Amino acid sequence: MAFLQLTNIQKSFGPVQVVHNFDMGIDKGEFVSFLGPSGCGKTTILRMIAGFETPSGGTIFIDGKDQGALKPNQRNIGMVFQAYALFPNMNVHDNVAFGLKVAGDSKPEIDKRVKQMLGLIKLEHLADRFPYQLSGGQQQRVALARALAVKPQVLLLDEPLSALDAKIRVSLREEIRQIQQQLGITTVFVTHDQEEALSISDRIVVMNAGRADQIGTPFEIYNTPATRFVASFVGTLNIIEGKVADPAIGAVTIGGQQISLSEPITGAKGGDSISLALRPEAGSIAEGARGDTALPGKVVSRSFLGSVIRTKLRVGEDIISFDMFNDPGMIPPVAGESVTLRFAAKDLLVIRE
């Protein structure tokens, strides 16, 4: 049994079931992100771990201990909320000290621990400030320190960065990850931002309508999405519709052209529709680009994203976008231009519905 073990969790609100058969084991010290669109049940699962919601079915074990009968204040869990939720009547020191006071620690112990926590989030100099005197990013760091001060077994963060602006979001997520690794604390992080999840997680759970579509490392999730939903939600994968020509040798037709995949296609017969995914960075239209597959297309649009230029091509019925590095020495294609897109057939992924 894993350190945090969720087994066959169900949750219904009235007649509506919002979490279905959720199973997952999270190891000690692991950083797991729940990624999914709004309303898919991420918060609900987090709240069940914290004890704010009671599962309609299934069990939650932390370190081998069934949490079912425990109230939120009896579980040893740290929680960070999107809206910070600092106590407005207490200064930074007292906010961080709150859980320790509740636990009945002595004053010197509390002061020592608070100091240590404020050192961790680099806000020692703001100990006397009240929440309304802090920026959003500072408030959220204090909230993190407050949650960690009581040495929880599991840290839960529900979209802690959503209320912050883009720059702070990036620096704070790295800070969270660094603190998490330093303390080795088991962490569940909820987000609907795929870049956030990919950049800081050990593993990601991609959620879709109350179910886990795929659980895997960021690398697996990004490179080998298990379902069409994962493929479209994570990254900017191109979905190309094709037809199976010969499953035995992995031959498919895309845009009227036959290409061969590196592997045979299982469970399909000739004439079946098939969805294939291609990462935007896997294709190129440059002269002498490598790749065993070439598709003719027409440039639809291009957008400049700084270090890369994203170009959209029409290939047959599909629009395929691909990225190329911004090279000042190269003239980017213009809309309407006919080009040849080259890529390696092994980069095409067969997508399950």
Partner 1 sequence: MKARRLGAWIAIAIGASYFIVPLLGTLEFSLRMRRDAYSFDAYRSVFSDFQFRETFGYSMMMAVLTIIFGMLLVVPTAYWVRLRLPQVRPIIEFITLLPLVIPAIVIVFGYLRLYNSSSILPLTGSTSGTNMLLMFSYMTLSLPYMYRAVDTAMRAIDVRTLTEAAESLGARWPTILFRCIFPNVMSGVLSGAFITFAIVMGEFTMAALLNRPAFGPYLQLVGANKAYEPSALAVIAFAITWLSMGLLQLVSRFQKSAPAKA
Q: Which residues bind partner 1 (CB under 8 A)?
A: 50, 52, 71-75, 77-79, 81-89, 98-99, 102-103, 130-132, 136, 139, 143, 146-147, 150, 163
CB of 261 to ligand ATP, least distance (A): 35
One-letter amino acid at 246 equals D
Return the residue of 8, 13, 52, 107 that touches ligand ATP, per CB under 6 A. 13
d(CA 319, CA 330): 23
Cα 2 to its chain centre, rounded Å, is: 21
Under rule CB under 6 A, residue 120 binds ligand ATP: no
- Closest CB to ligand ATP among 39 and 264? 39
Under rule CB under 6 A, residue 52 binds ligand ATP: no
CA distances from 13 to 51, 67, 133, 302, 310 (A): 16, 20, 39, 45, 43
Contact partners, residue 208, CB within 8 Å, separation at least 6 = 36, 37, 40, 227, 229, 230, 233
Under rule CB under 6 A, residue 41 binds ligand ATP: yes
Beta strands 154-158 and 186-191 are: parallel
CB of 72 to ligand ATP, least distance (A): 15
SS3 115: helix
Order of strands, edge to edge, in the sheet holding 318-325?
A: 318-325, 308-315, 293-304, 338-343
**Count of residues binding ligand ATP (CB under 6 A)?**
11
One-letter amino acid at 91 equals N
Stretch that binds ligand ATP, among 34-42, 167-175, 197-205, 258-266 (CB under 6 A): 34-42
CB-count exposure of residue 165 (10 Å: 0-12, 13-18, 19+)? exposed
Return the residue of 18, 92, 278, 350 that touches ligand ATP, per CB under 6 A. 18
- Closest CB to Mg ion among 37 and 264? 37
CA distances from 6 to 83, 266, 335 (A): 26, 32, 51
The residues with which 293 forms a beta bridge, in sequence order, are 343
- Closest CB to Mg ion among 41 and 280? 41
d(CA 89, CA 94): 9
CB atoms within 10 A of CB 200: 21
Site residues for ligand ATP, 172-231, by CB under 6 A, read 192
Q: Residue 79 touches which of ligand ATP, Mg ion, partner 1, none (CB < 5 to 8 A by kind)?
A: partner 1
Residues contributing to the site for Mg ion (CB under 5 A):
43
Q: Residue 106 touches which of ligand ATP, partner 1, Mg ion, none (CB < 5 to 8 A by kind)?
A: none
- Closest CB to Mg ion among 78 and 99? 78
Alpha helices in 7-104 (DSSP H): 42-50, 92-102
CB of 228 to ligand ATP, least distance (A): 19
Under rule CB under 6 A, residue 40 binds ligand ATP: yes
Stretch that binds ligand ATP, among 36-44, 102-110, 270-278, 293-301 (CB under 6 A): 36-44
d(CA 312, CA 337): 11
CB of 42 to Mg ion, least distance (A): 5
Nearest residue to ligand ATP, by Cβ distance, number only: 43
CB of 99 to partner 1, least distance (A): 3
List residues binding ligand ATP (CB under 6 A).
Answer: 13, 18, 36, 38-44, 192
